[in-house]
Homo-oligomer: A and B are copies of this chain.
């Protein structure tokens, strides 16, 4: 690892903390447009590839067979906040395949959306697997397993049809070989494979353009992008980065967060894919980097740039609401 400080955290006039990381911006032919840090290093994309994991849901015919709506497809690509409508949407997806929440193997956690968590506690409700930020992805996996006539109870097993299809989709679109020695278990118990950052960016350049994809895959990717652009709230939730960016920019940008400081994204108009990894796993820094990359490469209007400024240089407030500092991208990120 080299010393690529991408984001500084200021308190008053002093740099209090700093985040190193790597960024790959790649076109659909694999040409590297920008490389910061080690983009050959394999990183777990975690939730940042949910949209790629959802490709077989469409390609298998499962989405049509169960009549999934665009909002439901967006939720399959989501790390949602567990807000009431997210939960209801996940439930509806399961119902379409004749299942209920007991089929989910993602584990329970309180809604990431704090007011929704507080509302649950106030109502005396215990958080369930439906509140897990991955419940939409898992509902999608379950629809896929059912459409493949596989036992839904094994839908997370790396050797069962659903995960084999997911793995094949990621391998093919990224051009990376996914090996067992680079397989981990995700927070939601799904398998996750480490992929070189360059290949993650390539995957999203292809996802965003359809370039070099089989026609069915290009169609599936376009359908997922359109679903997320039409329903950005379902991809994350109230006040969240992915939602706010796609609400502002619509189909011009696809962007998705992953745990441990990962972001992946596509700029279809520019034919580019983007992958970001903050070395230390810091999500706050990965968000700044991603916002800076969108501003740099997405050919935005001054107005759109201004609307993203609070993501590029977020101001930090304390418990009394006083301004105490800010995050800022370093020169490495600025064109």
Binding site for B on A (CB under 8 A): 1-3, 5, 9, 11-14, 16-20, 42-44, 105-109, 118, 121-122, 124, 132, 181-189, 192, 194, 260-261, 278-282, 285, 318-322, 324-325
Contact = CB atoms under 8 A, between A and B. Distances in A.
B187 A319 contact: yes
Given A13-B182, A107-B320, A189-B320, 12 more contacts: A12-B183, A13-B181, A14-B44, A20-B20, A109-B319, A121-B121, A121-B122, A184-B324, A186-B318, A187-B324, A188-B319, A279-B280
A132 B1 contact: no
Contacts of A321: 107
Contact of A281 (B9, B14, B192, B261): B9
A260 B16 contact: yes
B280 A18 contact: yes
Contacts of A185: 11-12, 318, 322, 324
Q: Which residue, of A11, A20, A122, A278, has the highest number of chain B Cβ atoms within 10 A?
A: A11
Nearest to A181: B13
8 contacts: A1-B3, A14-B44, A18-B279, A107-B318, A108-B319, A184-B324, A185-B322, A188-B319
Contacts of A18: 1, 279-280
A19 B12 CA distance: 24
A16 B42 CA distance: 9
Q: Which residue, of A121, A122, A181, A260, has the highest number of chain B Cβ atoms within 10 A?
A: A121
Nearest to A121: B121
A226 B192 CA distance: 48
A3 B5 contact: no
A321 B14 CA distance: 40
A118 to B, nearest CB: 5
A308 to B, nearest CB: 23
A261 B280 CA distance: 12
Contact of A280 (B108, B260, B285): B285
A44 B20 contact: no
Kindly list the 8 A-B residue pairs having the minimum CB-CB distance in the complex, ordered from nearest. Answer: A107-B319, A17-B281, A12-B184, A121-B121, A11-B184, A107-B320, A280-B280, A185-B324
A244 to B, nearest CB: 24
A155 to B, nearest CB: 14
Given A3-B1, A187-B324, A17 B108 contact: no
A14 B194 contact: yes
A315 B296 CA distance: 39
Contacts of A19: 280
Contact of A122 (B124, B285, B324): B124
A17 B280 contact: yes
Contacts of A187: 318-319, 324
A25 to B, nearest CB: 21
Contacts of A280: 17-20, 278-280, 282, 285
A14 B182 contact: yes
Contact of A16 (B20, B43, B105): B43
